[in-house]
């Protein structure tokens, strides 16, 4: 494969990182910036498409592809890990790969930061005057971390949690062993919620997992559970969560994702005293340019060599 012409929806500073990394290996390669959104009128000679999420901020792509799709594209690479931000027709043409795993450490660190903040009462214990009141802070060692989903994010988080002395119990759809000593398998989702002090949602959103965390599951929770969602808002029934918070079944919810995104002004999750809401930022880091380039360029070498691509979308 001699021709490498990449149509990229990434911002220009991201494209420039890829160009600089490509130059020593493939000096003839080109990276051409194209508009975000539904890909249309791509350069005829472009054989690779770098695609940003489409179905975001309330926008939904048409059910049918644009005229001419897939143009000259022979491979589509998604800069996100999940596939739920894209229309179904995208997966009916050239091979589609994802950036699965590229932000795993970022997401794991964010979840761990949320756990530390809850256990150590941050930022509530910061003082502004001489009226100091001591607060008993909860240790993490010996508490139980629950993981719903055990891919790259779950693996990274489990490694970090075990090093801190937490117990780790996990549930995944696959029967594949966790491959990490110290991780115990939950019997089912109710068992997972009943045993965890902090529970991190890191599962993919599919039709089978939509609202998998419903009123019945939340009713199984260990009283005072800290629920952390860094995956997708659609995994969680938000009305059921508000009910569980008001009934003190859930002690705290740290949510980096919601459904929809953003939530409309006035939504009760904004003002609930035991909800900590962040704007779907846990995967973004000061090294995101390099992390996205790492995953894409590793697959590019496979494409050029005629090998099967890794991280193929699991539709």
Given the residues 261, 287, 290, 301, the one annotated as active site: 261
User: Could you tell me the pLDDT band of residue 233, with boundaries at 50, 70 and 90?
Assistant: very high
What's the mean pLDDT in 132-156?
A: 97
What's the mean pLDDT in 245-269?
A: 97
Give the H/E segment covering residue 238. helix 238-246
Model pLDDT for residues 261-290, shown as the tens digit of each residue: 999 999 999 999 999 999 999 999 999 999
What percentage of the chain has pLDDT greater than the value 90? 95
Q: Domain residues of the chain, as ranges?
A: 5-102+286-304, 104-277
**pLDDT above 80 (res 106):** yes
What percentage of the chain has pLDDT greater than the value 70? 99
Structure tokens at 217: 């599951």
In angstroms, the CA 158 to CA 171 distance is 12
What superfamily would CATH give domain 5-102+286-304?
NAD(P)-binding Rossmann-like Domain (3.40.50.720)
Given the residues 21, 52, 232, 291, the one annotated as active site: 232
Fold identical between 5-102+286-304 and 104-277?
Answer: yes
**Could you identify the residue written with the tokens 């629950």?**
146
Given this model, what pLDDT does residue 175 score?
A: 87
Q: What is the largest CA-CA distance in the chain?
A: 70
Given the residues 190, 215, 280, 302, the one annotated as active site: 280
207 is catalytic: no
Torsion of CA 239, 242, 244, 247, to 10 degrees: -130
User: Could you tell me the pLDDT band of residue 2, with boundaries at 50, 70 and 90?
Assistant: low
Q: Are 197 and 165 in contact (CB under 8 A)?
A: no
Record the pTM. 0.93
Closest C-alpha among 151, 163, 169 to residue 101 = 151
**Degrees (nearest 5) of the Cα angle 196, 202, 205?**
125
What superfamily would CATH give domain 104-277?
NAD(P)-binding Rossmann-like Domain (3.40.50.720)
Closest C-alpha among 28, 29, 36, 30 to residue 10 = 36
In angstroms, the CA 193 to CA 79 distance is 32
Q: What is the mean pLDDT of the chain?
A: 96
> Which residues, in sequence order, are CB contacts of 81 under 8 Å at separation 6+?
98, 99, 100, 101, 102, 103, 283
232 is catalytic: yes
> Which residues, in sequence order, are CB contacts of 253 under 8 Å at separation 6+?
226, 227, 228, 229, 241, 245, 272, 274, 275, 276
β 250-255/225-229 pair status: parallel
What's the mean pLDDT in 107-115?
A: 98
261 is catalytic: yes
Structure tokens at 301: 């070498």
Model pLDDT for residues 160-217, shown as the tens digit of each residue: 999 999 999 999 998 889 999 999 999 999 999 999 999 999 999 999 999 999 999 9
């Amino acid at each position: 494969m001699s021709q490498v012409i990449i149509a990229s929806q990434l911002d220009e500073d991201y494209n420039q990182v890829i160009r600089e990394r490509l130059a020593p290996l493939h000096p003839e390669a080109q990276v051409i910036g194209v508009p975000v959104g539904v890909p249309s009128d791509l350069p005829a000679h472009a054989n690779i498409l770098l695609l940003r999420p489409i179905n975001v901020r309330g926008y939904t792509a048409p059910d049918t592809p644009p005229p001419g799709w897939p143009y000259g594209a022979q491979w589509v690479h998604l800069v996100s890990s999940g596939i739920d931000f894209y229309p179904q027709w995208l997966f009916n043409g050239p091979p589609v790969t994802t950036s699965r795993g590229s932000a795993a450490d970022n997401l794991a660190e964010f979840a761990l930061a949320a756990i530390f903040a809850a256990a150590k009462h941050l930022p509530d214990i910061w003082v502004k005057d001489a009226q100091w009141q001591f607060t008993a802070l909860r240790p993490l060692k010996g508490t139980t971390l629950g993981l719903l989903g055990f891919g790259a994010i779950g693996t990274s988080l489990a490694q970090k949690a075990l090093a801190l002395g937490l117990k780790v119990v996990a549930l995944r759809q696959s029967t594949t062993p966790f491959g990490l000593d110290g991780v115990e398998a939950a019997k089912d989702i109710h068992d997972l919620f009943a045993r965890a002090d902090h529970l991190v949602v890191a599962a993919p959103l599919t039709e089978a997992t939509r609202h998998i965390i419903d009123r019945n599951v939340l009713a199984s929770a260990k009283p005072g559970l800290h629920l952390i969602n860094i995956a997708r808002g659609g995994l969680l029934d938000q009305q059921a969560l508000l009910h569980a918070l008001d009934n003190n079944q859930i002690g705290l919810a740290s949510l980096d994702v919601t459904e929809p995104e953003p939530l409309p002004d006035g939504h009760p999750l904004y003002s609930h005293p035991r909800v900590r809401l962040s704007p779907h930022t846990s995967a973004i880091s000061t090294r995101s340019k390099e992390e996205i380039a790492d995953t894409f360029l590793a697959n590019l070498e496979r494409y050029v060599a005629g090998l099967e691509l890794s991280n193929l979308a699991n539709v």
